[in-house]
């Protein structure tokens, strides 16, 4: 397992081209495999997670060709998937297994799907519950964990009032809704990313937003029968990957960083407002709409950060950015406090525990709470380099690499190759821009 040593740096300077957005790439890949004909997805995510999705779609009979960051997928229609004799492997990807569960619930065959040791510990009941209500038959280990055995049924539309704010659960129900009779509705308790709604609409599904409720019409069979159309699409750069560089450039006083082509969907961009509220020197340039998604460029310069509190409805909007924000805590004036975020314990690792452990190794003062953590700011003393154990979690590895740039002395990130789950080039890009 690879180690990366991070030396302190003074600035992050230059231009960064991000990999394609992970969330959007998963959705485009799945919908292209269900469409009738050949789709071309350019600037597809380099993330290993999205390649797990491509592997699963291939095993289900879609024709998938990868040429660098361009992916060509030929789908054979909503009823064109084939049963896989092999157990599908979602590897580390929660989005793959949860969204695909929705699609598999609509197939007239049985599929087994599992993942790596981390994924096998992540809860699946949240998608199993609504999919059972729609008519699928699903067996999960201990009723909650992968492997899942999904026997697709004749689904019927439901109105699902989600008990938690989760884009993955919402998306699983909407994808199953393509196969259900009548209308399927999902109401979310707080706003989450809406890439599924936008992508479904783009590929020709009948989707309607009504406040916090999304409705989709079944179109695989029966009176509403129709087809998804293949598309030629460009995936915007991943804002959740950009965040590590926004944080690093803000922390290092002499930075001057330009980040090109960042996805700025409003259900993902709350992080930019949060950085601006903390005092970051962050400007959005060239904002434009691209096939339903917003994109723009960012200019970031070094600036002292105030810190802040994250709680309530902000949590689902910043969910993947919380590791980076927590790791920034000791460099801010007032520190960072995160509450209402018990979900963080159910991600690729227990992120609350991983953050508290590694922040303490760097000498930060941290209070671990059941639903978050409190990280003291600059007044509690300078932090120093340490040996970081990311627990196989890409966002923990990347967050502490950034903290290492501003700490005293060197920081060693163990098991650093886990960053490839979302950003295979992360360490090369960080070294290049930090001039190290
Ligand atoms: C994702 C939704 C979020 C997020 C994950 C990607 C998605 O998960 O943390 O990285 O693409 O729908 P939850 O829906 O579990 O909050």
pLDDT in tens, 51-69: 999 999 999 999 999 999 9
Structural domain range at position 155 = 22-234
pLDDT band at 1 (very low <50, low <70, confident <90, very high): confident
Question: What is the DSSP secondary structure assignment for residue 421, as one 8-state letter?
Answer: G
Cα of 22 to ligand 1 centre, how many Å? Answer: 10
* Average of per-residue pLDDT across 142-149: 98
Looking at the fold, whether 275 and 198 belong to one and the same domain comes out as no
Rounded to 10 degrees, the C-alpha dihedral 173/175/177/180 comes to -120
Q: Are 348 and 421 in contact (CB under 8 A)?
A: yes
**167 CB less than 6 Å from ligand 1?**
yes
Q: Return the pLDDT at 436.
A: 75
Number of helices (H), then strands (E), in the chain:
13, 23
Looking at the fold, whether 129 and 275 belong to one and the same domain comes out as no
Ligand 1, atom 4: closest residue by C-alpha: 320
**261 CB less than 6 Å from ligand 1?**
no
Asked whether residue 34 is domain-assigned, the answer is yes
Looking at the fold, whether 27 and 166 belong to one and the same domain comes out as yes
Q: What is the chain's length?
A: 436
Taking the complete model, does pTM exceed 0.95, yes or no?
yes
Report the C-alpha gap between 29 and 64 in whole angstroms: 9
For the segment 76-87, what is each residue's pLDDT rounded down to a tens digit?
999 999 999 999
Report the C-alpha gap between 147 and 285 in whole angstroms: 45
Report the C-alpha gap between 376 and 328 in whole angstroms: 10
For the segment 419-432, what is each residue's pLDDT rounded down to a tens digit?
999 999 999 999 99
Asked whether residue 132 is domain-assigned, the answer is yes
* DSSP-H helix ranges across 105-166: 125-134
Q: In what order do the strands lie in the sheet with 13-17?
A: 13-17, 256-263, 293-301, 281-290
**240 CB less than 6 Å from ligand 1?**
no
* Average of per-residue pLDDT across 326-345: 98
Report the C-alpha gap between 247 and 305 in whole angstroms: 10
Q: Return the pLDDT at 155.
A: 98
Looking at the fold, whether 208 and 274 belong to one and the same domain comes out as no
Q: Return the pLDDT at 297.
A: 98
pLDDT band at 31 (very low <50, low <70, confident <90, very high): very high
% of the chain surpassing 70 pLDDT: 100
Asked whether residue 185 is domain-assigned, the answer is yes
Average pLDDT, the chain: 97
Q: Return the pLDDT at 127.
A: 98
Structure tokens at 6: 């991070």
CATH number at residue 353: 3.65.10.10
* Average of per-residue pLDDT across 151-167: 97
Report the C-alpha gap between 330 and 365 in whole angstroms: 8
Looking at the fold, whether 27 and 8 belong to one and the same domain comes out as no
Look at the alpha carbons of 382, 385, 387, 388 in this order and tell me if their dihedral is positive or negative: positive
Residue that is last in its domain, among 211, 234, 257: 234
Asked whether residue 314 is domain-assigned, the answer is yes
Q: Are 433 and 20 in contact (CB under 8 A)?
A: no
pLDDT band at 105 (very low <50, low <70, confident <90, very high): very high
Cα of 193 to ligand 1 centre, how many Å? Answer: 8
Cα of 95 to ligand 1 centre, how many Å? Answer: 6
Cα of 166 to ligand 1 centre, how many Å? Answer: 6
Looking at the fold, whether 360 and 429 belong to one and the same domain comes out as yes
Report the C-alpha gap between 420 and 423 in whole angstroms: 5
Active site residues: 320
Atom index in ligand 1 nearest the CA of residue 346 equals 15
Q: Return the pLDDT at 153.
A: 85
Asked whether residue 119 is domain-assigned, the answer is yes
Looking at the fold, whether 113 and 178 belong to one and the same domain comes out as yes
Tokens 């600059």 belong to which residue? Answer: 378
Atom index in ligand 1 nearest the CA of residue 193 equals 12
Looking at the fold, whether 230 and 273 belong to one and the same domain comes out as no
For the segment 221-263, what is each residue's pLDDT rounded down to a tens digit?
998 999 999 999 999 999 999 999 999 999 999 999 999 999 9
Looking at the fold, whether 347 and 228 belong to one and the same domain comes out as no
**271 CB less than 6 Å from ligand 1?**
no
Asked whether residue 77 is domain-assigned, the answer is yes
Considering only residues 382 and 128, tell me which one the structure prediction assigns the higher pLDDT: 128
CA distances in angstroms from 11 to 3, 399, 406, 433, 436, listed in the order given: 23, 17, 10, 8, 10
Asked whether residue 64 is domain-assigned, the answer is yes
Report the C-alpha gap between 155 and 178 in whole angstroms: 9
Looking at the fold, whether 276 and 219 belong to one and the same domain comes out as no
Tokens 């937003």 belong to which residue? Answer: 209
Report the C-alpha gap between 214 and 29 in whole angstroms: 21
| CA-closest candidate to residue 90, choices 348, 330, 269, 360 | 348
Looking at the fold, whether 344 and 218 belong to one and the same domain comes out as no
| CA-closest candidate to residue 226, choices 200, 251, 259, 249 | 200
What is the total count of domains within the chain?
A: 2
Q: Is 237 helix (H, G, I), strand (E, B) or coil?
A: strand
Looking at the fold, whether 273 and 223 belong to one and the same domain comes out as no
Asked whether residue 294 is domain-assigned, the answer is no
Mutate-to-test residue for ligand 1 from 22, 167, 194, 322, highest number of ligand atoms within 8 A of CB:
167
């Amino acid at each position: 397992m690879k180690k990366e040593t991070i030396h302190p740096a003074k600035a992050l300077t230059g231009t960064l081209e991000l990999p394609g957005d992970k969330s959007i790439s998963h959705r485009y890949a799945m919908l292209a495999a269900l469409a009738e004909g050949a789709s071309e997805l350019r600037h597809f995510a380099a993330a290993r997670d999205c390649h797990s999705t491509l592997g699963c779609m291939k095993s289900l009979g879609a024709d998938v060709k990868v040429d660098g960051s361009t992916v060509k997928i030929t789908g054979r229609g909503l009823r064109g998937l084939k049963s896989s004799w092999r157990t599908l492997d979602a590897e580390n990807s929660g989005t793959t297994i949860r969204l695909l569960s929705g699609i598999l619930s609509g197939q007239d065959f049985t599929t087994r799907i599992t993942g790596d040791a981390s994924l096998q510990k992540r809860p699946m009941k949240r998608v199993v519950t609504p999919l059972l209500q729609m008519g699928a038959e699903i067996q999960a280990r201990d009723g909650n964990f992968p492997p899942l055995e999904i026997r697709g049924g004749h689904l019927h539309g439901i109105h699902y009032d989600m008990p938690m704010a989760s884009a993955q659960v919402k998306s699983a129900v909407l994808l199953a809704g393509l196969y259900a009779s009548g209308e399927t509705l999902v109401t979310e308790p707080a706003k989450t990313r809406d890439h599924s709604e936008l992508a479904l609409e783009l590929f020709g599904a009948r989707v309607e937003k009504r406040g916090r409720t999304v409705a989709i019409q079944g179109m695989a069979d029966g009176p509403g029968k129709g087809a998804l159309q293949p598309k030629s699409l460009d995936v915007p750069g991943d804002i959740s990957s950009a965040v590590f560089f926004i944080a690093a450039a803000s922390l290092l006083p002499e930075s001057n960083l330009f980040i090109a082509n960042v996805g700025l969907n409003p259900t993902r961009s709350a992080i930019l407002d949060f950085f601006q509220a903390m005092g970051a020197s962050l400007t959005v340039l060239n904002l434009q709409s691209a096939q339903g998604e917003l994109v723009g460029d960012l200019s970031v310069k070094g600036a002292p950060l105030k810190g802040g509190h994250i709680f309530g409805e902000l949590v689902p909007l910043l969910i993947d950015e919380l590791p980076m924000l927590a790791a920034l805590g000791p460099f801010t004036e007032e520190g960072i406090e995160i509450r209402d975020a018990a979900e963080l314990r159910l991600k690729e690792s227990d992120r609350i525990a991983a953050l508290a452990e590694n922040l303490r190794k760097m000498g930060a003062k941290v209070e671990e709470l059941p639903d978050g953590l409190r990280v003291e700011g600059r007044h509690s003393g300078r932090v120093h380099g340490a040996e970081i154990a990311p627990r196989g979690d890409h966002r923990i590895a990347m967050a502490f690499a950034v903290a290492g740039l501003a700490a005293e002395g060197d920081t060693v990130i163990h098991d650093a190759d886990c960053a490839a789950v979302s950003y295979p080039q992360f360490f090369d890009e960080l070294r290049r821009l930090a001039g190290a």
